Amino acid sequence: HSGIFPQFLFRGEDPDATHLNQFYHVECELLGDMDNAISIAEGYLVHLTKSMLKRHSDIILNTAGTLTHATAMLSKLDGKIALPRIPLDQAIPMMPSADCLEWVQDGQPHLGRKLTRKGERILIEKFGGAVWLTEMDHLGVPFYQAYVKGTGRCKAKAADLLLGLGETVGLGERHSTPEVVQDALRHHAVPEQSYKWYIKMRQVKPLLTSGWGMGTERYLCWLLQHDDIRDMHIIPRMKGMKYMP
């Protein structure tokens, strides 16, 4: 009752050390809640990392200078120790300086706050290499993420796995009924007409589903302990630059 598949994504943003405007992504959609999705994502991380170590440990060691980060991750997850989770509101007081936080969108504080890359890296260090950041401000995430019960419409039932450069897996539980989807569209001021197909899907078969996506190049940056994602392209495709076929 789940599917994991690769995608090649295009975005208009400018590339930098942690962002690519064209990148590979592993996507998964499944039946179940956010806890199920996190369990599947962690299991995939274990499977992928084991395969990488089995086939390419020499390359990883020569590039990263160590395998400890990968073996420590496997030791935790193979021992059935789930990776730690922390809600955004609990993470914010842990930040040592103002540059660890920013508004989701400048000039619109009602959309909420998020961690900067510096803030994410501080949280990664505090939690020993990997941590799920949860319960983001809802207006700062896509409308289709579920609401956390007991928070009104303030918090999203979503989680980002912070690893290596920062967010490497983005995950969330979805709204299960058409009524809640429509309410969320109004909440986010998104025209309902654009998502008639999504509303219809929930009308035909209301389901509790969740999904996640992992940035392939960001995972490789963690695995190889590298600090610039622009070096991870198999074929460079950076905005504003021409490349030979």
Provide the CATH number for the domain around residue 79. 3.30.930.10
In a domain, 236, yes or no: no
In a domain, 240, yes or no: no
Mean pLDDT in consecutive groups of 10 residues from the start of the chain, 245 residues:
61 80 88 96 96 97 97 90 95 97 91 94 96 97 95 94 97 97 96 95 94 95 95 80 69
Residue 54 burial (C-beta neighbours within 10 Å; 0-12, 13-18, 19+): exposed
Would 123 be classed as within a structural domain?
yes
Q: Is residue 18 part of a domain?
A: no
Residue spans of alpha helices (H) in the chain: 34-64, 68-78, 88-91, 117-126, 178-187, 196-204, 216-224
In a domain, 16, yes or no: no
Residues 6+ apart with CB under 8 A from 70: 49, 52, 53, 60, 223
208: in domain:
yes
- Are the C-beta atoms of residues 132 and 158 closer than 8 Å to each other? no
pTM of this structure: 0.91
Residue 207: inside a domain: yes
What's the pLDDT at 16? 82
CA of residue 88 relative to chain centroid, distance: 14
DSSP E strand boundaries for 105-157: 113-115, 130-134
The pLDDT of residue 245: 59
pLDDT of residue 3: 60
Cα distance between residue 28 and residue 99, in whole Å: 33
Confidence at residue 9, expressed as pLDDT on a 0 to 100 scale? 67
Count of domains observed in the chain: 1
- Domain span at residue 89 reads 2-11+23-230
In a domain, 199, yes or no: yes
What is the pLDDT at residue 110? Answer: 87
